[in-house]
Amino acid sequence: MFNRLRQLLRRSRGQEGAAAVEFAIILPILLVLTLGALDLGHMYFVDHLITNASREGARYAAKYTGATAAPTSAQISDYVKLPSGVDYDAFNLDSLTVTTVYAGTFPNRIATVTVTANKNWWVLGSLLGFATKTLTARSAMNVEH
């Protein structure tokens, strides 16, 4: 019985720190993958935000365009960035630009609003050297009158 126990103990020697070493080797890879996935999720969230901003800007342009006057890109940008709306500055976007183009004449006038933002990569940019990504969303609506 003691011989058997001695054989079992002899086999386990040299294995005490193997799991810790394996974990130390795998941990940086797991962290980069996990934080990269969070960064990618944040990019999709920002893309969703600017899509909603372009839709709201197009709705505003379509609703408040008259026969002679139409909201400018600056007015639509101010509307999209209202304090009661989403605080885009909290998302660390380098630039959030809103441009508006009107095409056609009444009653078939169309307002097209394009929102562009630059997304800085948190993890992928600092660790892997990725540059910023430009996200663009465009919405068009028929002008109400």
Q: What is the pLDDT of residues 89-121, one digit of tens each?
A: 666 555 778 888 888 877 788 889 998 888 777
Residue at 33 is within a domain: yes
30-87 residue pLDDT tens: 988 898 888 888 888 888 888 988 898 888 888 887 766 788 888 888 888 775 566 6
Residue at 6 is within a domain: no
Segment holding 74, helix H or strand E:
helix 73-80
Tell whether the model's pLDDT for residue 123 goes beyond 90: no
Residue at 10 is within a domain: no
Residue at 2 is within a domain: no
Residue 100 in 3-state DSSP? strand
Residue at 62 is within a domain: yes
Residue at 31 is within a domain: yes
Question: What is the percent of the chain with per-residue pLDDT over 90, rounded to a whole number?
Answer: 10
Structure tokens at 12: 């386990």
Residue at 49 is within a domain: yes
Task: Give the total number of structural domains in the chain.
Answer: 1
Burial pattern 44-57, b for ≥16 Cβ within 10 A else e, equals: eebbebbbbbbbbb
What's the predicted TM-score (pTM) here? 0.71
Residue at 115 is within a domain: yes
Residue pair 38/126 in contact (Cβ under 8 Å)? The answer is: no
Mean pLDDT of the chain: 79
- Position 22: which residue type? E
Domain ranges, residue 35? 15-142
